Chain A
Amino acid sequence: MKKVLLLVLVFSLGIGLFNISYASGPVSIRMSNWLEMEAATQNIFKQMIAEFEKQNPKIKVETVGIPFNQYKDQVLIMNSSGDAPDVIMGNSQMMVAFNGAKALAPLKGLLSSTTIADIFPNNLQGTTFNGEVKAISWAPHPIALFYNKELFKQAGLDPEKPPATWEQMIDYAKKIAALGKDRGGNKIYGLAIASAKVAHAGTVFNGIIYSYGGYFLDKKGKVALNNSGTKEAFTFIKLMIDQGIAPAGIEQKDVRGLFAGGQVGMVFDGDMGRGAFRTISGKGTDFDQIMGVTIVPIGKTGASETVFTEHELAITQSSKHQKEAAALVEFLLSKKAMVMYHQDQAVLSARKSIAALPEMNEDDYMKVFNKQSETARPLPATNPMFDNAMLEMTKALERVTVGKEDVGKVLAETEAKIKALYQE
């Protein structure tokens, strides 16, 4: 009998030891993203993950690739079904929805305080919900002003002196629009601003609202769209379109097409604009000779006002490996990863210490965007319904510019509608 008991004991110990040795093996964490679903970013993303695994042999990263268009819904469903990944990639509009679904863990205590303190204050503000940092800026895309040097020359403007103030920008736009038509008989516009169809137009229009001293949320964080600055911003775009200086009813991809085709003098776009214009124009890097870029002209507030969209990272509340997930986030924000990512995709870093590195400022183009990062404001995304609110903003722009409705009436009605969406 004793022999039998001894055998059972030895067997149990063996099982226990096997379990211990198994538990001390690599910890597997999952990261959802859309980068690996897109040809342009697939390789660099895999390289960054491979580098992390090389540096952290005890952590294995399983990537969960989801196409961008389905990303938000899929992550929300994964979270609801208790199958949330450990690390979530997202943009500002998505993160506010993930936070609304109580998916995100507070990052204080998970990430080092040095890393959090190194993020530009505006970027940090954009990922802070109710006083808690729930996500962290990874690759910000501040919006700056692109201009066509050829059209500047034709309009008698100095192509090396882009507009420094908002009034100058309007004046330049009028002069460029006065050129009339190009050789192909196409109308030339002074300025093009996305104002139709998708939520993105309304989202980016926040930058123009800020330039006029307006706001979407008041100081208490409540929807307060119907203010004098916003009215001025809406009136500005209406006048530009009514006078034929800017085209009506277009979205950002149309704006890019017009600029790349040499039919518009000035457009607002992010740091990814250069790559897009090179491709769409069919001229590759030769397009850089025509294209100039500068920070957004100083508006009513006396500052270069703009917004940034950005890719962000977060750790999920339900993750059983938050420490390992934090190690991955720290790595992706590190100098090593950011320089790799920048060299491949020309992305910016939201970290002050990295944004200032010579490797991240290799030409004037990157310098302009790093400078713009300092003043760019986060999107006012505080409610899970933000994307829907921005779609209402786009519809308001359409009502004013295409429907020729009264600005005051449209803003009052849109504000009421967004308040209802936000349940305020």
Chain B
Amino acid sequence: MKSKLVIKFDLNSNKYFFGKLFYDKLFAIGLILPAALMLCLTIVLPLLEVIRMSFHNYSLLNMNQIKWNNFANYQLLFTDPELLFAFLRTFYYVVVTVSLNLVIGFTIALLLNREIKSRNFLRGLFFLPWTFPTLVAAVVWLWIYQPQYGIFNYLLQTCDLISRHVNWLGELNTAMPAVIVASVWKQTPLMMVMILAALQTVPRDLEEAAVIDGASSSQRFFNVTIPCIMGVLKTVILSSIITNFQMFALFFVMTGGGPVRATTTLAIYTYEAAFMQFNLGKGAAVGVLWLVFLVVFTVTYNRILSKKEAFQD
């Protein structure tokens, strides 16, 4: 008869070699480990590599001689006024886009949260632009704005609002607003859906209590609805800010950073440094500065809004 090795785990037994907590922790670590390793491989390691690159002479033309360059990439950036302008343009784009996303998204969400006809159909319709890939949205808007054939100019001319073919993406004053419109069209639906989902979680009894207490509709909105959905609002706004800070496709396809440099944001600036000037080190340095800014911003943002949430409690 063959002997058989049998290992028995008796969870109710007190005969654990290292104690039950140890095995529980080991089990938990075993569950987390694959995901943690994957995160390390796809996020942490590339991030460390980018930080390393930013301190080196890293040219696509000569990748066999990568040398430490005494912060030369950062010196180059801090002496280039274009970096500041690119940052300010990005900041302007993010503030306007996120504000419009929030206001329009919130308004539509409030409308769709009411008992109206064809509510489900309208929800699907409003959500449609978000399903387009950003690249497709960029090309669609490129043609909408086309000076000679674009429908935008056609409609404005038909309504006698303009008398000439306006090159919306080719003129200094209109290029950035034109991209912002395309961006808001693309991103507002997500904001709308998230806020709508949050609105549906607002407890009815709280609202009814406020009505009984004689609160006006605006008081109910600011003192009941907003505090109840603050957690979701905080997350969608932060997510929208970060997404727009990184926006590349819309600018690259629609304006290429022009005219002149009217739409050269940090993403375009980084692309130019890394892939047009072949200077991967400089490109990485811009990325690191960008990362530092976003980390500081996110921490500050969370702290400020967490205080508000605490106050609500």
Chain A residues within 8 Å of B, Cβ to Cβ: 73, 76-77, 80-81, 97, 100-102, 185-187, 196-198, 247-250, 254, 257-258, 261, 263, 384-385, 387-388, 391, 394-395, 398-399, 402-403, 421
User: Which residues on B sit within 8 Å (CB–CB) of A254?
Assistant: 146-148
Chain A's closest residue to B62 (CB) is A101
Other-chain residue from A97, A257, A402 in contact with B278 (beta carbon distance below 8 A): A97
Central interface residue in A80, A187, A261, by most chain B CB within 10 Å: A80
Cβ contacts A to B, 19 pairs, < 8 Å: A80-B60, A101-B62, A187-B165, A196-B259, A197-B256, A247-B165, A248-B167, A249-B167, A250-B167, A254-B146, A384-B278, A385-B277, A385-B278, A388-B276, A395-B258, A395-B261, A402-B172, A403-B172, A403-B260
- Docked CA distance A101–B59 (Å): 10
Q: Does B171 contact A (CB under 8 A)?
A: yes
Q: Considering the chains assembled together, what is the distance between the CA atoms of A263 and B149 in angstroms? A: 11
Interchain nearest-CB distance for A345 vs B (Å): 26
Q: B149, A257: Cβ atoms under 8 Å?
A: yes
Q: When A and B form their complex, which 3 residue pairs have the shortest distance between CB atoms, in order from nearest?
A: A249-B170, A80-B63, A249-B167
CB distance from A310 to the nearest CB of B (A): 21
Which A residues are in CB contact (< 8 Å) with B12?
Answer: none
Tell me if B275 is interfacial: C-beta within 8 Å of chain A: yes
Contact pick for B255, options A76, A185, A187, A197, CB 8 Å: A197
Q: Is B38 an interface residue (CB 8 A)?
A: no
Chain A residue at minimum C-beta to C-beta distance from B256:
A197
Q: In whole angstroms, how far apart are the Cα atoms of A399 and B148 in the complex?
A: 22
Chain B contact residues: helix, strand, loop or mixed: loop
Given the interface contacts A101-B61, A187-B165, A384-B61, does A395 sit within 8 Å of B148 by beta carbon?
A: no
Not counting A76-B61, A254-B147, a sample of 17 additional A-B residue pairs whose C-beta atoms are within 8 angstroms of each other reads A80-B60, A80-B63, A101-B61, A101-B62, A197-B256, A247-B147, A249-B170, A249-B259, A250-B147, A250-B167, A254-B146, A254-B148, A261-B148, A387-B276, A391-B272, A403-B172, A403-B259
A76 touches B60 (CB 8 A): yes
Q: Which residue of B lies closest to A410 (CB)?
A: B260
Cross-chain contact A261 with B258 (CB below 8 angstroms): no
Residue of B nearest to A387 (CB): B276
In the assembled complex, the Cα of A403 lies from the Cα of B171 at a distance in Å of 8
Assess whether B259 is in contact with A398, with CB atoms less than 8 Å apart: yes
Task: Provide the residues of chain A in CB contact with B255, threshold 8 Å.
Answer: 197
Shortest C-beta distance, B259 to chain A (Å), equals 5
Chain A's nearest CB lies how many Å from the CB of B253? Answer: 10
In the complex, what residue of chain A is closest to B59 when comparing beta carbons?
A101
Interface residues of B in 229-287 (CB under 8 A from A): 255-256, 258-261, 272, 275-278
> How far is B62's CA from A388's CA once the two chains are assembled, in angstroms?
17
B128 to chain A, nearest CB (A): 28
**Chain B residues within an 8 Å CB radius of A76:** 60-61, 278
| Contact among A77, A187, A196, A247 for B258, CB-based, below 8 A | A196
CA distance A249 to B149 in the complex (A): 15
- Report chain A residues within 8 Å CB of B258: 196-197, 394-395, 398
Q: Is B64 an interface residue (CB 8 A)?
A: yes
